[in-house]
Amino acid sequence: MTSFPLLRRMRGLAIATMAATVLLNGAPAFSSPYQLVAGDRLTLSFTSQGLEQDLSIDIDGEVRLPSIGGVVVAGLSLDEAESLIETRLVDEGSYLSPQITLSVLEYAPVVVSGDVTRPGSFPYVPAMTVGSALALSGGSQAAGVSRMEIDRARVETEGAMQGINLDIAASAVEIARLEAALSGSAEYTLPDQLRQAIPNAASIDLEALIANEAETLTTEAGQRTQLLASWKQEITTIEQQLELFSQRLTVQSEIVAQTSEDLATAESLQERGLQTASRLSSVEQREADARARVLEIESARLAATQALGDAKRAQSQFLANERETNLRRLQEARIALASNQLRYARQLEHLSILTGGNMGSLLMSDAIDVTFQIVSPRADRGDLGTVTPATRLLPGDMLMVSIEAATLAAN
């Protein structure tokens, strides 16, 4: 006796509902240090330089770095991979004492194949089980979930919504602060449009977030005012120096004119034998000194002019950089707000299905038999024994699902 019509009837199970079942917080739990596999994405941070680089482990188990080429890290723990990369960097002469940190940016996906609604590759989620993978692939129509799992998924979805709601509020108040900064306002208010963008403002201490952003705006405005005042004082001082140099130059030019006349008179007297050579030499020296002082004043005035230009350029560059930074941060905050609003909407949809859907369709069916097989790239995976919906999956695993109609035993 077969029950294939039952299979067809159960294909309507909502994938979003099943995916919500596996939304768990935290990192995957491993009994031993996690071994990297092909498909994992890593973040490599150079601690001493504040630099980061995203790396992908390719099919050969390697990550590629510009300075040293490919490094095989598949099968290693993060600590072992860090040590190996540091050693290679030193051996290749790229660094004398590199200090790097590796972290997992994204785990290798899980592949589900066989008798499932939508076979394919799915992102690994923390604490993923065979049942979770089946849910993400549309279900095997026998994967099922228990009522306890549904309740737990609902609670976790509600918790995720609270976190996203807080992220939305944080983005909203940051946007208001950056808009105020760009407009030159020292006062902070949260416009109604941004306040209304927060799904559940009553569940968070919104006024505390607003107060923190207002304090940040006030602090940054004070620092900006102080810095601009310092530049203004410096520019005023240099301009005063330039005025003094101009006045000194006028006086010194008059002195040069007088000494030139004295020199002409002394030369005329000498030609008529009425002036001694030593007297003429003294007059010549005074005339030369007067001209030298003119050059000194001109040089000092040029240096002051250069300093004035540098101060004005520095002030202009600061204002330009400040505006560019605030515009970039504003754009990032707006993108984060829109992204979190989409995330909240998806979680709301999941919660709606979990709380108001047909719960009977989510329960395990005994009309069909399902067998599972896990193929893992890990040499240490070992014999998993009987694989059930509760069996944990690891990044990079391939889950093979087979379905057969159940044979009813005669009583």
Which pair of structure tokens corresponds to residue 406? Answer: 């159940």
Most confident of 48-62, 155-169, 346-360: 155-169
Mean pLDDT of 191-220: 92
pLDDT in tens, 351-399: 776 675 443 333 333 434 668 889 888 877 777 788 888 888 999 899 9
Residue 147: which pLDDT band, with cuts at 50, 70 and 90? low
C-alpha dist (Å) from residue 215 to 172, 190, 209: 16, 14, 10
pLDDT in tens, 231-274: 999 999 999 999 999 999 999 999 989 989 888 888 888 888 77
292-299 — which CB contacts under 8 Å span 24+ positions? 293/252, 293/255, 294/249, 294/252, 294/253, 294/256, 297/245, 297/248, 297/249, 297/252, 298/249
d(CA 285, CA 306): 32
Greater pLDDT, 300 or 134: 300
d(CA 310, CA 148): 70
Portion of the chain with pLDDT greater than 90, in percent: 41
d(CA 153, CA 374): 25
pLDDT in tens, 42-58: 998 887 677 888 999 99
Residue 151 has pLDDT above 80, yes or no: no
Residue 6 has pLDDT above 60, yes or no: no
